[in-house]
Amino acid sequence: MQDINHDNIHRFNSLICQSDRISIVTHMRPDGDAMGSSTAMYHFLSMLGKKEHRIIVPDPYPAYLDFITSEIPSESISAHSANKQEAEEALANSDLIICLDFNAFHRTDVMAAALEASKAEKVLIDHHIGPDRDKFAVSFSETQISSASELLYHILMAFPQIEGDATRLPAACATALMTGMTTDTNNFANSVYPSTLVMASSLLAAGVDRDNILSELYNRHSESRLRLMGHMMKDLLKITEDGVAYIVLDMETMLKYNVQEGDTEGFVNMPLSIGKVRMSLLLKEEEDRIRVSIRSKRGTSANRCARMFFNGGGHENAAGGCLNKPGDVTSMAEVPEYIEKYTHIYLTEHE
């Protein structure tokens, strides 16, 4: 972890000390790692005595993550989509902006221009390939790590106020870090490194209630979510001769099963349990585009496929993007053909 060195920690610490107004921002459609790392940062800043710090998300995060943000006052966490003017004023008036779990401003979608324009010093804490280092006063970028939450844990451990003692972290901070790492590793199923287990061990020893985290994350779903999963795996899953599994979820089906944000989390991984499947795609229809999630097995790059054919990117084996409608496809009926054609080209010509 080259970026976690004395100089960078000192500069980050100094920026925090000399800043009054601090904004914490993360990527659009925030997931467990985005909210885990942001929430942990918030509580750490509170511990340092900061008074005017806040989290600004591009759009709302799923309700199942409420349990980690519950100790943040409602006025200190807001969505750009709910109040654009307030969010943009806060970004413009910040002394310091801490960017978590994304590598470039465009990943914050509607907030990108305001981030770019803000005169605030910016700090990056991220685990994606290809960080936009030029935009940041200090960058902590590490790809051989489970999550932004794990990276933040190691950064905080290096702070003089913590000195490697996880029991000094506020409890809500430690819980949020463990939650973000747990969701990004799919509960220790992927991207687990020796450093990940060190983090998990030290947070457990410090008193984090992992059983409660698992119960909040995985045992509170709606009945309709499980029934939707059954329908998807039984009726909607297609597998091509190249070993590409894909599921297209249209708005009508999502309405029928009352799909809420976050409800399909994890479903894209399931087809990888089939031996012959090398790559799995889940496509969800939105008003003007189709969201794409891609997962792949070792030896096949979801990241490159997302970059080349799905207007996106991500990690080697977990990536995402979108298809524009109209643009890449004119109707949902064309989606299967698009997927089969371009994943075939990708796997036969580019892998």
In the complex with ligand 5GP, the residue whose CB is nearer, 131 or 243, is 131
The correct pick among 58, 131, 243, 313 for binding ligand 5GP (CB under 6 A) is 313
CA dihedral 321, 323, 325, 330 (to 10 degrees): -170
- Scan residues 103-142 and list those touching ligand 5GP (CB under 6 A): 128
Q: Are 182 and 217 in contact (CB under 8 A)?
A: yes
Q: Which one of ligand 5GP, Mn ion, none interacts with residue 22, CB within 5 to 8 A by kind?
A: none
CA distance 111 to 98: 14
DSSP 260: P
**Residue closest to 248 by CA, chosen among 271, 223, 217, 277:** 271
**Residue 126 binds which of Mn ion, ligand 5GP, none (CB < 5-8 A, kind-dependent):** none
* Min separation Cβ 309 and ligand 5GP, Å: 13
From CA 148, how far away is CA 33, in angstroms rounded? 6
- Cβ distance 38 to 55 under 8 Å? yes
Report the nearest approach of ligand 5GP to the CB of residue 120 (Å): 23
Q: Does 318 bind ligand 5GP (CB under 6 A)?
A: yes
**What is the rounded CA–CA span in Å between residue 60 and residue 52?**
21
Q: Which of 315, 317, 323, 335 binds ligand 5GP (CB under 6 A)?
A: 315
What is the binding site for Mn ion (CB under 5 A)? 33, 101, 147-148, 184
- Residue of closest CB approach to ligand 5GP: 320
Cα–Cα distances (Å) from 308 to 128, 240, 242, 244, in that order, read: 17, 19, 18, 16
Residue 313 touches which of Mn ion, ligand 5GP, none (Cβ within 5-8 Å per kind): ligand 5GP
Place of tokens 């984090």: 208
Minimum CB distance to ligand 5GP smaller for 170 or for 266: 266
Nearer residue to Mn ion within complex by CB, 124 or 148: 148
Q: Footprint of ligand 5GP on this chain (CB under 6 A)?
A: 128, 293, 312-315, 318-322
